Amino acid sequence: MLDKWDSQESLKVLGPSLDSVLPLGQDPVLLLSSRFTICHKTEVVKNTLNPVWQPFSIPVRALCNGDYDRTVKIDVYDWDRDGSHDFIGEFTTSYRELSKAQNQFTVYEVLNPRKKCKKKKYVNSGTVTLLSFSVDSEFTFVDYIKGGPAVGNPLQPTSLHYMSPYQLSAYAMGADKSRKEKLSAFNPGLI
């Protein structure tokens, strides 16, 4: 996990075997919220109880504002064209729990509190599986000035600035090529 809260987290989610709310086709959608503020809404997956949502990215700042243990609530709805979406269920997690999915799938039970109170044998309203989770840093100009993403040790062959006794570095070759292009513009026969 990164300590950089300007990063983006990318998630890939599916919801196998969600409960049917209506006898007709289901159109599931996920709403992610943190402290009563919706921070992401997935696309609607039409006519299925086994949705696979497109991977999506959320800024860490919007999801948890740097508090990796802040509760993130995820609601599952059956989308309706008229705006009266039907509640399927919900579950809660945190950024820290989500980040554990970098190495494994994580399955969350979708629970509907009303159904749980009414039915004694109620187990859940389906599950949502987090297939992948990754954090992508977004570096600013200031990060580069402070020494952000390093270009590497010039003594290592993998560095852009590697000083080989036999050939120019990748960085130097790019600079040399640029210089040749500029000179050829003024005198094409020179090079």
Tokens of residue 15, six digits: 């919801």
Q: Is 63 helix (H, G, I), strand (E, B) or coil?
A: helix
- Whether 141 shows a pLDDT value over 80: the answer reads no
Based on the domain organization, do 117 and 180 belong to the same domain? Answer: no
Write the CB contacts of 111 (distance below 8 Å, at least 6 apart in sequence): 89, 90, 91, 124, 125
Count CB neighbours of 112 within 10 A.
20
**In which residue are the tokens 């050939």 written?**
167
pLDDT tens for 32-63 read 888 888 988 999 989 888 888 888 888 888 88
> Predicted confidence band at 144 (pLDDT cuts at 50, 70, 90)?
low
Based on the domain organization, do 126 and 83 belong to the same domain? Answer: yes
- Whether 70 shows a pLDDT value over 90: the answer reads yes
Task: Flag whether 2 is in a domain.
Answer: no
Based on the domain organization, do 50 and 129 belong to the same domain? Answer: yes
The pLDDT of 72-79, averaged and rounded, is 91
Q: What is the percentage of the chain residues whose pLDDT exceeds 90?
A: 10
Q: What total number of domains does the chain contain? A: 2
Based on the domain organization, do 131 and 158 belong to the same domain? Answer: no
Compute CA distances 86 → 22, 146, 149, whole Å.
Answer: 9, 50, 46
Based on the domain organization, do 62 and 127 belong to the same domain? Answer: yes
Task: Flag whether 49 is in a domain.
Answer: yes
Based on the domain organization, do 100 and 131 belong to the same domain? Answer: yes
Boundaries of domain holding 129: 8-136
- Whether 183 shows a pLDDT value over 60: the answer reads no
